[in-house]
């Protein structure tokens, strides 16, 4: 067999080490002392293909060793991604679908899988051959993926999934998104502007500051902000987002994002003119019916509506302030001498803010 229960003499600095409840690092005596222990593959032919991927010798099936290794690798890749996705799904219950997909892609990197391979000593056989490896992390990650694929062929897929899931939970190290973007995404530069033929250069005066949108219609340096004034997050072009998708952790967007030259105004109830509006008397409310319209629209869209209220002043001359919350996000505030009128005002502001009227 390729693995022996021998004492561990050294560990790589980037390999996560198990710790006790007191926070002290404990070195396992062997790979079988890890939690979870190594999932043993019995078929030595499959194991030889998995652990020695750089050989061009033919296997018993007649194909090259590299081709057989690649077949195991492809089989293990999807299960690793699924196990990591389930681990991140449980760890971040408030993440959107796009956010958890992004975390999954940042988790299942060659660097991370190479750490798993070194942790379980899957790279020992290849290192002993003295082979010239051009991309060490990619090769080691492929060994771990192929090992998972060979285990799927030999035993229950549920057993292999449980093993990989426990590895992700015990030894997985998440990477900050900013680091991933800096390392993996190329820097975009605007395309060159078309040059007119010689002798026909027009007298052009710059109308826009440097960095503003050019003739291509896209600002490569400053992405347009969203409705809250903050830049839009960069998105993976492979992931498509439904514009109607909604999640409690996402802000409510009521209009198209504005460009830097057209800043989005604050919500109506936050503008000075509204804050200085006199209190509406209960007998002269002009917003009656707004609350019923709000509840009807919220029911259609399956949104949760709630109010918080507070009063000031003596009992015979109270002033009520009610805040409207849609899915726990404040979208309207009403102030009046009656709680019901204050709710109607808040409901009207919410309808306007959300674009429901």
Give the tens place of pLDDT for each residue, 233-257: 555 544 444 544 445 555 554 445 5
Domains of the chain plus CATH, in order, are 1-184+216-242+254-264 (1.10.1520.10), 268-354 (3.30.160.20)
**What beta strand segments (E) does the chain contain?**
305-312, 319-326, 329-336
**What beta strand segments (E) does 273-354 contain?**
305-312, 319-326, 329-336
- Reported as a pLDDT band with limits 50, 70 and 90, residue 141 is very high
Query: Which pLDDT score, from 0 to 100, does residue 294 have?
Result: 87
Q: Which helix (H) or strand (E) holds 219?
A: none
In degrees and rounded to multiples of 5, residue 231 shows phi and psi of -60, 145
| Residue 337: C-alpha distances to residues 290, 306, 318 (Å) | 17, 20, 6
In degrees and rounded to multiples of 5, residue 155 shows phi and psi of -135, -175
Residues 41 and 50 sit within 8 Å (Cβ to Cβ): yes
What string of DSSP letters covers 97-128? HHHHHHHHHHHS-HHHHHHHHHHTTTTHHHHH
Predicted TM-score (pTM) of this structure:
0.46
Most confident of 41-50, 147-156, 333-342: 147-156
Give the tens place of pLDDT for each residue, 93-107: 898 999 999 999 999
Residues 324 and 349 sit within 8 Å (Cβ to Cβ): yes
Helix (H, G, I), strand (E, B) or coil at 322: strand
């Amino acid at each position: 067999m390729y693995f022996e229960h021998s004492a561990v003499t050294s560990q790589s600095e980037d390999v996560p080490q198990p710790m006790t409840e007191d926070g002290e690092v404990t070195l396992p005596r062997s790979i079988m002392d890890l939690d979870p222990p190594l999932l043993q593959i019995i078929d030595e032919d499959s194991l030889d293909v998995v652990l020695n991927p750089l050989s061009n010798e033919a296997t018993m099936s007649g194909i090259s060793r590299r081709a057989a290794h690649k077949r195991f690798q492809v089989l293990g890749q999807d299960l690793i991604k699924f196990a990591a996705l389930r681990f991140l799904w449980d760890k971040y219950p408030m993440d959107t679908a796009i956010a958890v997909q992004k975390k999954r892609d940042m988790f299942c990197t060659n660097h991370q899988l190479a750490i798993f391979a070194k942790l379980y000593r899957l790279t020992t056989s290849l290192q002993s051959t003295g082979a010239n490896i051009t991309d060490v992390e990619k090769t080691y990650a492929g060994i771990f993926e192929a090992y998972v694929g060979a285990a799927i062929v030999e035993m229950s897929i549920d057993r292999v999934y449980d093993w990989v899931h426990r590895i992700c939970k015990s030894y997985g190290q998440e990477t900050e998104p900013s680091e991933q973007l800096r390392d993996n995404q190329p820097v975009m530069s605007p395309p060159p502007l078309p040059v007119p033929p010689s002798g026909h250069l027009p007298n052009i005066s710059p109308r826009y500051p440097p960095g503003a949108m050019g003739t291509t219609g896209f600002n490569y340096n400053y992405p347009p902000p969203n409705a809250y004034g903050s830049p839009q997050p960069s998105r993976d072009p492979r992931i498509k987002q439904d514009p109607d998708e909604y999640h409690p952790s996402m802000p409510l967007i009521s209009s198209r994002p504005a460009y830097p030259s057209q800043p989005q105004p604050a919500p109506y109830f936050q503008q000075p003119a509204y804050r200085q509006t006199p209190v509406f008397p209960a007998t002269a409310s002009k917003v009656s019916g707004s609350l019923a319209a709000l509840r009807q629209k919220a029911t259609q869209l399956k949104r949760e509506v709630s109010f918080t209220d507070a009063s000031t002043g003596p009992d015979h001359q109270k002033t009520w302030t009610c805040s409207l919350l849609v899915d726990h996000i404040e979208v309207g505030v009403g102030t009046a001498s009656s709680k019901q009128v204050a709710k109607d005002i808040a409901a009207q502001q919410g309808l306007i803010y959300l674009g429901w009227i």
